[in-house]
């Protein structure tokens, strides 16, 4: 039987536990591309990141509103990745997407900036063959065990991708972060800092917009005696602040704000 101290050591050390957690969260995370018609050829533009989500019988993609407004709705189709390191798959006609949006008229670092893009039901089966739709309304799992909490921000760093006019190779990334809760009026937020000088860390979080912030509880399974975890989507990335002394502050909408969007679907 593993122990919490062993879990903590693995999370802090070079064990592949972090990678396995990120891969697991990646099963619900997609890169979003606008696909434009350029004289009969597909012209690709990375718009941001989204989380596959189901709300009752509505299947779609949770993302930032500006990802939809500034890129996707202007395209002919929306492309989503189904696995890492591939070009776009499952193109979706923009006209077939039903957006539900919460966005402030004067958009700034406080938002509001959330969107749920409902996709046609006939496409969900093909997506489910590769990916998992997060059920936002599902009750939390009862672990029956002590756990350690960690937080992971998921996104598609544009500067780490390879792009041509007709092809895009990207990688869904996850960064373990330490978010702080922020409230303003009736809205909730999570802020976290990243060290942009850390090896492998992108200087810009362009491409992370719309990506999910996940709370992960890591524990020793009382059934198998092995390390397991339970994840919960808690926020959506939408804003990056300027770099100050080698660090960049990233802001996410919190779960209350996401719930307000869900209630409109």
**pLDDT digits (tens), the chain, 265 positions:** 788 888 888 888 877 999 999 999 999 999 999 998 877 677 888 899 999 999 999 999 999 999 999 989 999 999 998 755 444 457 899 999 999 999 988 889 998 999 999 999 999 998 998 899 999 889 888 888 899 999 999 999 876 666 655 566 778 889 999 999 999 988 999 999 999 988 878 888 888 999 999 999 999 998 888 999 999 999 999 999 999 999 999 999 999 999 999 999 8
Element (H, E) at 24: helix 17-26
Q: What does the alpha-carbon distance between residue 109 and residue 264 come to, in Å, rounded to a whole number?
A: 23
Beta carbons of 27 and 214 less than 8 angstroms apart: no
Alpha helices in 115-154 (DSSP H): 121-128
**Euclidean distance between CA atoms 1 and 42, whole angstroms:** 53
Domain with CATH 2.40.10 in the chain: 29-128
Vertex 151, ends 140 and 249: CA angle to 5°? 135
CA angle 232, 236, 242 (to 5 degrees): 135
**Which pLDDT score, from 0 to 100, does residue 256 have?**
94
d(CA 248, CA 228): 31
What confidence score (pLDDT) does residue 161 get?
64
State the DSSP code for 256: H
User: CATH second-level architecture of 29-128?
Assistant: Beta Barrel (2.40)
User: What is the pTM (predicted TM-score) of this model?
Assistant: 0.92
């Amino acid at each position: 039987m593993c122990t919490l101290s062993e879990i903590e050591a693995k999370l802090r050390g070079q064990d592949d536990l972090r990678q396995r957690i990120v891969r697991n969260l990646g099963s619900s995370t997609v890169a979003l591309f606008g696909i434009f018609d350029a004289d009969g050829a597909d012209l690709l533009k990375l718009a941001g990141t989204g989380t596959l989500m189901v709300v009752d019988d509505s299947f779609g993609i949770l993302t930032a509103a500006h990802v939809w407004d500034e890129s996707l709705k202007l395209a002919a189709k929306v492309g989503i990745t189904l696995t890492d390191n591939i070009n776009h798959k499952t193109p979706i006609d923009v006209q077939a997407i039903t957006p539900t949006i919460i966005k402030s008229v004067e958009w700034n670092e406080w938002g509001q900036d959330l969107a749920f893009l409902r996709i046609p039901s006939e496409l969900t089966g093909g997506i489910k063959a590769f990916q998992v739709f997060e059920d936002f309304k599902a009750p939390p799992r009862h672990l029956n065990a002590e756990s350690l909490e960690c937080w992971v921000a998921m996104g598609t760093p544009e500067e780490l991708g390879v792009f041509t006019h007709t092809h895009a190779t990207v990688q869904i990334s996850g960064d373990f972060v330490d978010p702080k809760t922020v409230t303003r009026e009736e809205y909730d937020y999570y802020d976290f800092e990243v060290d942009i000088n850390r090896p492998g860390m992108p200087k810009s979080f362009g491409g992370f917009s719309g990506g999910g912030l996940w709370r992960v509880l890591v524990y020793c399974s009382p059934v198998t005696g092995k390390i397991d975890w339970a994840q919960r989507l808690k926020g959506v990335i939408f804003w990056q602040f300027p770099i100050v002394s080698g660090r960049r502050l990233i802001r996410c909408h919190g779960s209350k704000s996401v719930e307000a969007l869900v209630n409109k679907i």
